[in-house]
Amino acid sequence: MAADPNRVILTGENPFIRLSATDGGPQSTNASFWRILTCPAGPGHVLYLKSELTENRWHIYSDNIAMARWLQNTVQGMLNEETADTAIPVVDAEFSKSGDPRYFWTETLVTHDEEISLTWYDIGEPLLIHTNPGEGGRKFGVCTLLVPALGTRLLLNGVEATGKSWATQREGRPFSTSALAFSESWTEAR
């Protein structure tokens, strides 16, 4: 057994929901949720959300603004350049979770005037993914357990986002445009 030679910069979870009206069509909702156990800016939660429910603008919700901004400047900003814009306000929120990831999983956040819930169900077979920094043009590497979910629901103040998650392939295996991502650790070269 060998230790990964890279520096671990964060560990946590990063489930996501990507909805569209048609298979391969433009995304009507893009939600990237993070539960960070450890990173240089501390632990916490953050949701980066763009949807018809947010008038197709990015909204950021967090219980640790320093961590949300750190992610924008590192991994989240690399994954989606639109979310790297630190002019996007960060709304304070409280977070909770429920479910059994073998069957369904729900993440909920509450702000002063909003409640958002993200639910994953119709769970598929997990894939363990490992990449090194620099692979595929990415500055950071990752080791994560991705769990595809064909069923998803995102509610904002009781209104459901349009579109759906679609079946796809990843590394030649059944996957989805939405997934749970547990035991996720990101690395950078030493």
Q: Per-residue pLDDT tens for 120-176?
A: 999 999 999 999 999 999 999 999 999 999 999 999 999 999 999 999 999 999 999
What secondary structure letter does DSSP report for 64? -
What secondary structure letter does DSSP report for 84? G
Residues shown for the chain? 190
**What tokens appear for 182 in the block?**
């547990």
Contacts of range 26-31, beta carbons closer than 8 Å, 24 or more positions apart: 27/163, 28/52, 28/161, 28/162, 28/163, 29/53, 29/154, 29/161, 29/162, 29/163, 30/80, 31/118, 31/154
Give the number of other CB atoms < 10 A from CB of residue 18.
19
What secondary structure letter does DSSP report for 4? -
How much is the pLDDT for 132? 96
Cα gap 154→120, rounded to integer Å = 9
Q: Which tens digits make up the pLDDT trace of 60-112? A: 999 999 999 999 999 999 999 999 999 999 999 999 999 999 999 999 999 99
Note the pTM of the prediction, 2 decimals: 0.97
Q: Give the pairing of strands 94-100 and 104-110.
A: antiparallel
Give the domain ranges of the chain.
7-188
* Cα–Cα nearest to 58, from 23, 32, 92: 32
Cβ atoms of residues 144 and 187 within 8 Å: no
At residue 59, does pLDDT exceed 80?
yes
How much is the pLDDT for 1? 77
* Cα–Cα nearest to 146, from 113, 111, 120: 120
Q: Which tens digits make up the pLDDT trace of 18-57? A: 999 999 999 999 999 999 999 999 999 999 999 999 999 9
**What tokens appear for 34 in the block?**
């993070």
How much is the pLDDT for 5? 94
* Cα–Cα nearest to 148, from 129, 130, 133: 129
